[in-house]
Structure 1
Amino acid sequence: MALQAGDVFGRYELVSWLGRGGMAETWRAQLVGDAGVTKPVLIKKVLPEYANDEAFISMFISEARISATLSHGNVAQVFDFGRVDGEYFLAMEFVDGQPLHRVLKRALKSDLGALPVPVAVFIAMEMCRGLHYAHTRMDSSGRPLGIVHRDISPDNVLLGYEGQVKIVDFGIAKAQLIRGFKTAPGVVKGKYLFFSPEQARGEDVDARTDVWATGVVLYELLCGKLPVEGPPHVVMMRVARGEVPAPSVLRPDLPQELNDIVMKALTPDREQRFESSHAFGDALAGFLYSNFPRFSAMTIAHLLRVLFRGDLAQEGREMSVPGSFLEELKSWRQQTLPEEPVTPLPSTGRQTRRLRAASPPVTAPTPPVSIVAPPGPSRPLLYGLSAGGLLVVGVSLWALLDAHSPTTTEGAPPPTPIQQPYAVAEAHRGQSTNKQEGPEPTAQATKADKPTAALEKEASEVKTTLLFIHHSLADNRLDEAHAEARRCIETYPENPSCQNALRITQAKLANTNTDSDVSPKQPSPSQVSRPTSPSTFSKNINEIQITVNDLNKQGRIHDALEVAQACVNGDPKIPECHLMLGVLYAKLNERKKSEQHYETFVTLTPDGYPKRDRVIEILKNNFP
């Protein structure tokens, strides 16, 4: 039977239904104590369809355990956790007010245009205080708990009619046991518009990730819009490039000091951001009280009472607002934002502020960046919004930024699967480091002679180019990807990453031209002749092998297959390409395909060729 207002739920009496999210519904309730004592609370109850989902319940319990340890004026506290009639719930502090995203939306609908500068700064400053408290929490043994919110956004900040600023849902964001396992490598969860670069890459996060997200929130409060908007791949590309327009571009009246504070919080390199939420909040406090010395939380309270006067009236409530505040509000309304940015922000222009974070002197050549061909259009990179409103994005959108290409000329071993059948494991035993035929790469020698600034410029531009190519491939815009790869080669002809990008785009085009629906038919061993001269792919087989190996270790087996298949399509005479496919198909238990590529490898290689005898043994023992 569905719950209704007035029902008793454990120790609580339900007062009114507030809403339903993807996985839980919320109720305003009151704790009923002895002698008629009551306390208002917020009940978050797991929806019936998730009550038997052990993975979700694990996440919910994790939220309770983490949130219950937090007690700070800027963090909504969790009072109770339990189960009533088989339904899990949390009893949380009830904040009589509005979520920040509704406050901003209401301000934009009014003639304010966005939040006044001191209001926005105060809210962000209070957020920083709550975050710093959580970040520095320790257990009973004095060890840091390592709490990071991970999902800071206006949805998770509440403003009270008395001027409170409270962060909510620490536990949900921090919980590492989401759906029963730690977030898998290659997958990131959260609201992508507030992702820090390192968070979106699926790297380990720390307190500076919340600094970034708080900076994005402050930016939106000041400007009425996010620094970068659009589809996930567009947002991530621009953030990766450092193309974040300074808030003063959208809000010309913004003091330069505040503009610089926001931009420091939004530095892509976390080493160059504020070192902590405390440092960020301290900078905001210095600005706020130097310019608005009499500002207090009551200004927040008065603003909410004005913006939501109609809502309060419908509830039969009337909250006072002094005349002095109404005069101040009138002056704020005269400082509305321009309808359009003073400086246009085309996607291809450079009128945005480049966030090129300072980096320590480079004492060794910067490794080039490798590109990995993404899955075809039948496997979209975006898996869509989950029931909880969290976007699950394939880390392939970001993995290009930090994946390093090999620089050695020695052959790298094919992927080494873990706990795989004998046929796979044996193929990797005793890997050879034989050198390939063909001229040695000269990229390293060339790079070693370049000055540091040139190396940094090349690395940065190649990273950006590879990211664009990857998105183009993901969207099946093969011609654009190929053209960009050619430009990369023309600009940096010795860069292995540009060379690899060109090879992959060529292979993808070849795949499409021969058969757009299925993988090209593999040549039979009898159809393949032994190589007579090294091809372009042969010269770069080491880089391809390491790329495949890295993808396999990350669990991205289908991406590894894509690269190995491109190797075969580019030059079907390279033995190592077939060996990689043989191993990968064995890992997927596709015996027929695995056997075919193993046989092709044997056909292409002479007696004594590294790994040939072992592959023959595999064929004999596992493919009778």
Structure 2
Amino acid sequence: MATSRQPWNVPGVILFSHGDLSYEVDLSHPLVEELAQSRLGERTVPAFERTEKKRLREVIVRSLPPTSSDEPETLARMRARLREEAHLATYLQYPRIARILGPYEVHGVLYIVSDRVEGTSLNTLLTYSQMRGKFLSPAFCLYVGAEVAGALHNAHTCKGENGAPLGIVHRDLNPARIFLEPEGGVILTDFARARSLLPGRVATTLPRPQGDVFYCSPEALLCEETDPRSDLFSLGLVLLELATWRHLYSMAHLRPSDLEKTLTKKAKAQVLDAAITAMEAELPGHAEDCILRAATFTRQDVDEITEPLAHPLRSIIRKLIQRNPEDRYPSAADVEADLRAGLAALGTPYGPKEALDEVLISLTGASMNRGVLGPTTDSPLLADMVADEDILTERGGTP
């Protein structure tokens, strides 16, 4: 028997109960007061999974109301999208991928419960290293990259009940989606924007980049077909930034007018179409710059931006961020193998303990340089809610 209560009115409120378990809002979490309800009633909150006598663990709970007087069809599609995300997550049973539990529907309210990942995102670790004024080590980058590549390989090779490949592509791999746990393990989070071949999967309203445009592959930005090699490009951008603080799409030293002159007539039309799509999808203002850069960067640009890196990290990242997917690694398993071989070649063991030690040193240095930092509020809690442009519109398609 499942029960539900209205949230947000009294301390220690129980969102809903299912069997012997209840889900209680974590009112002590610093983000609770900052989280607003979306216009269609979607909420994302930190919570505790608990029994009647004690709290068991921390989780994240997302919810959608049963109806909307203003946009009932839009809300229904959002609920379908959230259900599909939960369904897809049942196949992603891997230690380095954050889990989704559920869905639960109680009195018409749809709840999705997921792990609340403890630790610090790579996004915050980048900030720490910049404040400290020192790059994270090649060993750290090789270790993190290998762990993420392993998680991607698991996702990319998932199969359904009938043994058919599910064709999962994350599509939103960026530093905010990758966490270093308190024990030094690496966790990949948030497959909310993933593409898959699940039966009944539906197409998005626009052929548009699905994740943070600053980490999208060229084919995603130019509204072309994406596949697992698109995730590998994104991983390459993450590792490049982690190791050098630089980004292939940064155009601070480039004039857009000069880049446009290098485009063929066909490429110019493609860039224009992609820019229009980005505008219609209300993507961030820098999306147009990323699209132009994705269409114009050369192999020489890749070689130049990776030149400061030491071997083997340099050669691995170079192969990951080639514009043509055929020039990249064929699979995440191949990436993981090269990263682990590179790590072993360093001659000194490097794993979770060493990664955590390095991060603590980086945090200490950052604190000394810029004043004491407070505790991080990193959390997948801030992952994007289901947006209108993510809504699926056709049965049998692939987003």
Query: What is the TM-score of this pair, normalised by structure 2?
Result: 0.69
Matched, 1:284 2:290: no
Matched, 1:95 2:113: no
Q: What is the letter of the counterpart of residue 296 of structure 1?
A: G
Structure of greater Rg: 1
The aligned counterpart of 1:111 is: 133
Matched, 1:8 2:24: no
Matched, 1:213 2:234: yes
Matched, 1:126 2:181: no
CA distance in 2, matches of 1:39, 1:85: 24
- Greater strand content: 2
CA distance in 2, matches of 1:244, 1:191: 23
CA displacement, residues 341-387 of structure 1 (integer Å, 9 cap, x when unaligned): xxxxxxxxxxxxxxxxxxxxxxxxxxxxxxxxxxxxxxxxxxxxxx8
CA distance in 1, matches of 2:85, 2:372: 32
CA apart distance, 1:25? 4.5
Q: Is the 8 A contact 1:188 1:199 kept in 2?
A: yes
CA displacement, residues 435-486 of structure 1 (integer Å, 9 cap, x when unaligned): xxxxxxxxxxxxxxxxxxxxxxxxxxxxxxxxxxxxxxxxxxxxxxxxxxxx
Q: Is the 8 A contact 1:247 1:254 kept in 2?
A: no
CA displacement, residues 46-88 of structure 1 (integer Å, 9 cap, x when unaligned): 4899895112222111111111321111100112222455443
Q: 1:241 to 1:95 in 2, by over 3 A?
A: same
CA displacement, residues 165-216 of structure 1 (integer Å, 9 cap, x when unaligned): 1111113333689xx9513565443322222122223233211111111111
CA apart distance, 1:106? 2.2
CA distance in 2, matches of 1:391, 1:26: 16
CA apart distance, 1:35? 5.8
Matched, 1:234 2:289: yes
CA distance in 2, matches of 1:244, 1:101: 27
CA distance in 2, matches of 1:261, 1:290: 14
CA distance in 1, matches of 2:214, 2:374: 34
SS at match of 1:107: helix
Q: 1:4 to 1:130 in 2, by over 3 A?
A: farther
Q: 1:299 to 1:247 in 2, by over 3 A?
A: farther
The aligned counterpart of 2:216 is: 195
The aligned counterpart of 2:317 is: 262
SS at match of 2:24: strand
CA apart distance, 1:275? 0.4
The aligned counterpart of 1:459 is: none
Map 1:293-372; keep pairs closer than 5 Å. Answer: 293-307=348-362
RMSD over aligned CA atoms reads 3.4
CA distance in 1, matches of 2:10, 2:186: 30
1:137 to 158, 165, 176: 158
2:191 to 149, 170, 174: 170
Listed as ranges, the gaps of 5+ residues in structure 2 are 1-6, 17-21, 252-285, 376-383, 390-399
1:28 to 37, 46, 51: 46
SS at match of 1:189: coil
Q: 1:219 to 1:28 in 2, by over 3 A?
A: same
The aligned counterpart of 2:263 is: none
CA apart distance, 1:282? 1.1
SS at match of 1:172: coil
Q: What is the letter of the counterpart of residue 91 of structure 1?
A: V
Q: 1:14 to 1:206 in 2, by over 3 A?
A: same
Using CA pairs below 8 Å that are at least 6 residues apart, which structure has the higher relative contact order? 2
CA distance in 1, matches of 2:215, 2:386: 13
CA distance in 2, matches of 1:245, 1:232: 23
CA apart distance, 1:27? 3.1
CA distance in 1, matches of 2:128, 2:249: 21
CA displacement, residues 585-623 of structure 1 (integer Å, 9 cap, x when unaligned): xxxxxxxxxxxxxxxxxxxxxxxxxxxxxxxxxxxxxxx
SS at match of 1:131: helix
Q: Is the 8 A contact 1:189 1:391 kept in 2?
A: no
CA distance in 2, matches of 1:120, 1:195: 20
Q: What is the letter of the counterpart of residue 279 of structure 1?
A: D
Listed as ranges, the gaps of 5+ residues in structure 1 are 316-386, 393-624
Query: What is the TM-score of this pair, normalised by structure 1?
Result: 0.46
| Overall identity of the aligned pairs, in % | 22
The aligned counterpart of 1:59 is: 81
CA apart distance, 1:141? 1.4
CA distance in 1, matches of 2:130, 2:373: 21
CA distance in 2, matches of 1:105, 1:135: 30
Moved more, 72-81 or 13-22: 13-22
Q: Is the 8 A contact 1:129 1:277 kept in 2?
A: yes
CA distance in 1, matches of 2:218, 2:206: 15
CA distance in 2, matches of 1:75, 1:181: 24
CA apart distance, 1:252? 5.9
Q: Is the 8 A contact 2:229 2:330 kept in 1?
A: yes
CA displacement, residues 76-105 of structure 1 (integer Å, 9 cap, x when unaligned): 011222245544332112221122212212
Q: 1:210 to 1:391 in 2, by over 3 A?
A: farther
CA distance in 2, matches of 1:306, 1:187: 40
SS at match of 1:90: strand
Q: Is the 8 A contact 1:76 1:167 kept in 2?
A: yes
The number of equivalent residue pairs is 318
CA distance in 2, matches of 1:219, 1:202: 24
CA distance in 1, matches of 2:125, 2:65: 27
CA apart distance, 1:130? 0.3
Map 1:160-559; keep pairs closer than 5 Å. Answer: 160-174=181-195, 181-184=202-205, 186-230=207-251, 231-243=286-298, 249=304, 253-307=308-362
CA distance in 1, matches of 2:197, 2:36: 21
Q: What is the letter of the counterpart of residue 152 of structure 1?
A: L
CA distance in 1, matches of 2:328, 2:174: 18
Q: 1:49 to 1:140 in 2, by over 3 A?
A: closer
CA distance in 2, matches of 1:86, 1:249: 55
- Greater helix content: 1
CA distance in 2, matches of 1:162, 1:265: 28
